[in-house]
Amino acid sequence: MLRDELPLISVIVPFFNEEDGLVRLHERLNAVLLALPVRSEILYVDDGSTDDGRRIVEQLRSQDPRIALLCLSRNFGKEIAMTAGLDHAAGDAVVIIDADLQDPPELIPQLLEKWREGYDVVYATRMEREGETWLKKASASAFYRVIHHAANFDIPRDTGDFRLLSRRAVDALKRLPEQHRFMKGLFAWIGFRQIGVPYHREPRHAGATKWNYWKLWNFALEGITSFTTAPLRLASYLGGVIALLAFAYGLWIVIDTLVHGNQVPGYPSLMAVVLFLGGIQLIFIGILGEYLGRMFDESKRRPLYLVADYHPSSQSLSDKA
């Protein structure tokens, strides 16, 4: 194997309908990468875009052999697109960055510096959030708090997917086969030496976010259910408390009937108890269902994604030779 002295850095850019930002992103990425004493490849992962993004990357690629293009067969979502990128990246270190220029490429040298110091996961930590609504900030903060308490390890707060991974961290991630990929959790789960680098997150450069609150809610659910079974335990505790209360109430009714005789049919209290318990039961059947559904998905053992086209960069070709 013939390798240059310089390390190879792979930059993974998952994109879904980002045609307006890609060229600008590429310019900024290139300006940063070419100034560094590294070899680099930029791996664009087309997550089933329906716009012109793919053609734009193909055009960029015809001028620059350091570009690789991986096209998934349909839209699989960002988590899977990142996974596909990690599977195809050849670098000694891998950087994951959003296509909408919310993650400044100019931070990459700092990430690299930490990697050179021996860190395996160098994540970028947002200092403040601009151009995001109050509700989004509040819900994000609540989510981090829940996951922090529920999971048995720490997921760093205020981090996105913008980060650098060492080769061994990437190889570790590739060994995690789960279908439900909550990447932020997986990044933290692998361990190794991790460190944060603060940065200023910009508003979107072009286009619109594909996240709505419904998607975010499901994302949060994914994060919680793939890393902790605490909600299942919650069901037993809550059930226990309610059963205890119901027992006390029943006792009171018996005593009341013994002392005062049976005066009332008791329809309202009966209805209240039945409805309340019915609701509680439905909630926890739902929680059980969440976990069962995940087991169902895992047991199918489907591939995580399908590749429609792969055009590697010249770097990864020469590395494999």
Which among ligand UDP, Mg ion, none contacts residue 77 (Cβ within 5 to 8 A by kind)? Answer: ligand UDP
Chain residues 4-63 in contact with ligand UDP, contact rule CB under 6 A: 14-16, 18, 47
CA torsion through residues 130, 132, 137, 140, sign:
negative
In whole angstroms, the minimum distance from the beta carbon of 157 to ligand UDP comes to 15
Identity of the residue, 10 or 102, whose beta carbon is nearer to Mg ion in the bound complex? 102
> What does the alpha-carbon distance between residue 120 and residue 197 come to, in Å, rounded to a whole number?
13
Q: Which stretch binds Mg ion (CB under 5 A): 97-105, 108-116, 276-284, 299-307?
A: 97-105
Q: Return the residue of 7, 8, 89, 98 that touches ligand UDP, per CB under 6 A.
A: 98
Residue 15 or residue 143: which is nearer to ligand UDP going by CB? Answer: 15
Q: Is 181 near ligand UDP (CB under 6 A)? A: no
The single residue among 100, 173, 197, 313 that binds ligand UDP, judged by CB under 6 A, is 100
Would you count residue 75 as binding ligand UDP (CB under 6 A)? yes
CB of 307 to ligand UDP, least distance (A): 14
In the complex, the smallest distance separating the C-beta of residue 97 from ligand UDP, rounded to whole angstroms, is 8
Among 60, 68, 69, 81, binds ligand UDP (CB under 6 A): 81
Instruction: Give the rounded distance of the alpha carbon of 278 from its chain centre.
Output: 34
Question: Whats the size of the chain, residue-wise?
Answer: 321
Binder to ligand UDP among 26, 78, 126, 184 (CB under 6 A)? 78
Q: Please state the separation of Cα 22 from the chain's center in Å.
A: 22
Contacts of 124 (CB under 8 A, 6+ apart): 103, 107, 111, 159, 160, 162, 163, 196, 197, 198, 199
- State the greatest distance between any 2 C-alpha atoms of the chain, in Å, as a whole number: 95
CB of 142 to ligand UDP, least distance (A): 16
Pairing type for strands 307-311 and 67-72 reads antiparallel
Minimal distance, residue 296 CB to Mg ion, in Å: 31
Tell me which stretch binds ligand UDP (CB under 6 A): 93-101, 186-194, 228-236, 267-275.
93-101
Q: Which of 99, 124, 165, 173 binds ligand UDP (CB under 6 A)?
A: 99
**Beta carbon nearer to ligand UDP, 3 or 55:** 55
Q: How many residues bind ligand UDP (CB under 6 A)?
A: 16
**Residues near Mg ion, by CB under 5 A:** 100, 102
**Residues near ligand UDP, by CB under 6 A:** 14-16, 18, 47, 75, 77-78, 81, 98-100, 102, 209-211
